[in-house]
Amino acid sequence: MSAIAVAGLRMRYGERDVLHDVTFQVEPGEVVALLGPNGAGKTTTIEILEGFRARSAGRVSVLGEDPGRAGEQWRARVGVVLQSWRDHGKWRVRELLAQLAAYYPDPWDPDDLIAAVGLTPQADQKVRTLSGGQRRRLDVAIGIVGRPGLLFLDEPTAGFDPSARRDFHDLVREFVATSGCTVLLTTHDLDEAERLAGRILILDGGRIVGDGTPVSLAQLVAGDDEVRWSLGGERFARPTGHPARFVHDLYREHGDEIRDLEVHRSSLENTYHALVRSAEAS
């Protein structure tokens, strides 16, 4: 059974369609990034999957249930990390997690969870005294305190500095590796999507316009990588789907005569912009 199965999803506000026949699946244990420009329908899609918004048409299954009709037992299996929130500032970290854990049938032990997200030194601090990176770690702890089978991450590192972003990525990767949790991530940071997700969905104009791994999408849209080099005073460039092998063969044939070697890889950024431009032109 897929962790998420969406078929023919449609959302209409008045006379305006926000989602048109959106169809995709997410398998258990996958980390999938949902990308798209502002107004593409990402937030609406996620809110429908989380059970916070009723859809106009289509079939949706999340962890085997329709989120529009699912009950508290289903919700206990779904974790949500919102982009930002400011509640509970006077609570201490351990107190807050212990209080929330009491609502779940099989929660994390609060101290074990605090250690897992790297907040042991801050366990007795008030939430309002945490730094931005520490607060985001607490947000993740709140999202996973009930040991969810599916975790939604909404713009998880918005406003982070590079060091805090790297630490957060390490935290998410470790959690997924140890728990087997399925993750659906929304972000505007294409580098973040490529680092965290094994699969990319690109939503534009209310439709899925791209679905695949970063590498497969780049090869499909932007083409192969390109190797460039100089030899005997001439400049050469060749497309290739296997740049490491190509460079190895090149040096085996010409050795130190090779000069100014460059490998230009097809990037997720180029792929994303190409797909969005194509969708907007159609």
> 185 Cβ partners below 8 Å, 6+ apart?
31, 32, 33, 34, 152, 153, 156, 192, 193, 196, 197
Band (pLDDT 50/70/90 cuts) for residue 194 is confident
Cα(269)–Cα(224) distance, rounded to whole angstroms? 14
More confident residue, 57 or 137: 57
**Average pLDDT over every residue of 137-157:** 90
pLDDT at 88: 75
**Average pLDDT over every residue of 127-152:** 90
> Are the C-beta atoms of 229 and 254 separated by less than 8 Å?
no
Evaluate if residue 225 carries a pLDDT over 80. no
The number of beta carbons lying within 10 Å of the beta carbon of residue 16 is 8
Amino acid making up residue 96: L
User: Alpha-carbon torsion 133, 137, 142, 143, what sign?
Assistant: positive
pLDDT of 261-277, one tens digit each?
988 766 666 666 666 66
pLDDT of 82-131, one tens digit each?
776 666 778 999 999 999 999 998 899 999 999 988 899 999 999 999 98
